[in-house]
């Protein structure tokens, strides 16, 4: 028997149909999706890095709860903003993972990633503009020279202030840090697929972004300290470029033995492993595909 033609797929971790609207949503034009990914990732970085800046610059550097909660809420709000237009990826690791299981067109992967990185850079620039005075006071109070390095690392608290924008590891183990970032991203995709799969215990379209944020919060609280849990190449690389432009120079790339490549490569691998782990070990045991999310191939 010939296969029926596939229905248009929503390139998303959220379902194609809303509980508030019985109409089936087809994939929006690429240009619209890219604008949503750009704005969503900009908002994500603005709020997330803003939480980091609040914790570091105002003598709350030990308050990890502020940072993890801020990032969780940033993800939740950004997914609400973009889910019905672009799928709410906001993360190259998510985009690649969905493409790897044919839920997203491979031709859209590079445009999505470029939009995400550009949005992350804009978010980083806005954070710098908003906290510029506080950053300068932070440096003056601690006698920090922006971009200066000691023993191969950016000198000063929070990597001399660059840690507001991007991540740096607590330890120097290359493969340990790689494993930590890959593990965190694998759990991200595993958890997100679980809370958005309508065949499982998904709470419904309107509440799913809250649980996506909760997944990110759990990763930060439980696994985040070794590397700062970038678990998103755009979130890490875009603001790192901003820090480079805003005075920290190429030290943000050279610091910690050129650590910058790990939060780019490891999440891309971890995301694919996480989503395929869910599909191969959980999804195969769930009820039929009629209500699968994203829509199943017939």
Within a domain: 86:
yes
Within a domain: 298:
no
pLDDT digits (tens, 9 = 90+) for 161-210: 999 999 999 999 999 999 999 999 999 999 999 998 888 887 777 889 99
Q: Which pLDDT value is given to residue 206?
A: 83
Residue-number span of the structural domain to which 158 is assigned: 27-291
pLDDT digits (tens, 9 = 90+) for 216-271: 999 999 999 999 999 999 999 999 999 999 999 999 999 999 999 999 999 999 99
Within a domain: 18:
no
| Domain total in the chain | 1
Q: Are strands 153-154 and 17-18 parallel, antiparallel or unpaired?
A: unpaired
Within a domain: 88:
yes
Cα(91)–Cα(113) distance, rounded to whole angstroms? 7
For residue 263, what are its two tokens? Answer: 């939060």
Any idea what the CATH number is for the domain that residue 128 is in?
A: 1.20.1080.10
Cα(33)–Cα(38) distance, rounded to whole angstroms? 9
Cα(119)–Cα(89) distance, rounded to whole angstroms? 12
For the residues 85-97, what does the mean pLDDT come to? 96
Within a domain: 208:
yes
For residue 87, what are its two tokens? Answer: 């799928």
Q: Which pLDDT value is given to residue 202?
A: 75
pLDDT at 8 over 80: no
Within a domain: 213:
yes
Within a domain: 12:
no
Q: Tally Cβ neighbours within 10 Å of residue 296.
A: 16
Q: Which of residues 183 and 11 earns the better pLDDT score?
A: 183
Within a domain: 236:
yes
pTM for the predicted model, two decimal places: 0.88
């Amino acid at each position: 028997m010939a296969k029926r033609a596939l229905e248009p797929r929503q390139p998303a971790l959220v379902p194609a149909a809303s509980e508030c609207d019985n109409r089936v949503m087809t994939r929006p034009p690429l240009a619209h999706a890219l604008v949503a990914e750009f704005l969503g990732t900009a908002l994500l970085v603005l709020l997330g890095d803003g939480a980091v800046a609040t914790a570091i610059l105002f003598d709350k550097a030990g308050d990890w709860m502020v940072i993890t909660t801020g990032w969780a809420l940033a993800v939740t709000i950004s997914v609400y903003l973009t889910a019905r237009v672009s799928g709410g990826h906001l993360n190259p690791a998510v985009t690649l993972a969905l493409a790897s299981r044919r839920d997203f067109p491979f031709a859209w992967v590079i445009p999505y990633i470029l939009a995400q990185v550009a949005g992350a850079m804009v978010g980083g620039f806005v954070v710098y503009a908003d906290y510029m005075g506080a950053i300068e006071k932070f440096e003056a109070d601690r006698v920090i020279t922006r971009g200066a390095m000691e023993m191969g690392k950016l000198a000063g608290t929070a990597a001399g202030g660059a840690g507001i924008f991007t991540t740096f590891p607590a330890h120097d183990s290359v493969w340990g840090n790689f494993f930590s970032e890959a593990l965190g991203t694998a759990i991200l995709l595993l958890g997100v697929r679980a809370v958005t799969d309508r065949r499982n215990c998904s709470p419904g379209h309107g509440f799913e972004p809250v649980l996506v944020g909760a997944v990110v919060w759990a990763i930060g609280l439980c696994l985040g300290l070794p590397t700062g849990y970038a678990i998103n190449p755009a979130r890490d690389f875009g603001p790192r470029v901003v820090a480079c432009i805003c005075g920290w120079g190429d030290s943000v790339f050279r610091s910690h033995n050129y650590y910058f490549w790990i939060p780019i490569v490891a999440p891309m691998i971890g995301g694919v492993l996480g989503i395929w782990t869910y599909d191969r070990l959980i999804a195969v045991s769930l009820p039929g595909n009629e209500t699968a999310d994203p829509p199943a191939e017939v």
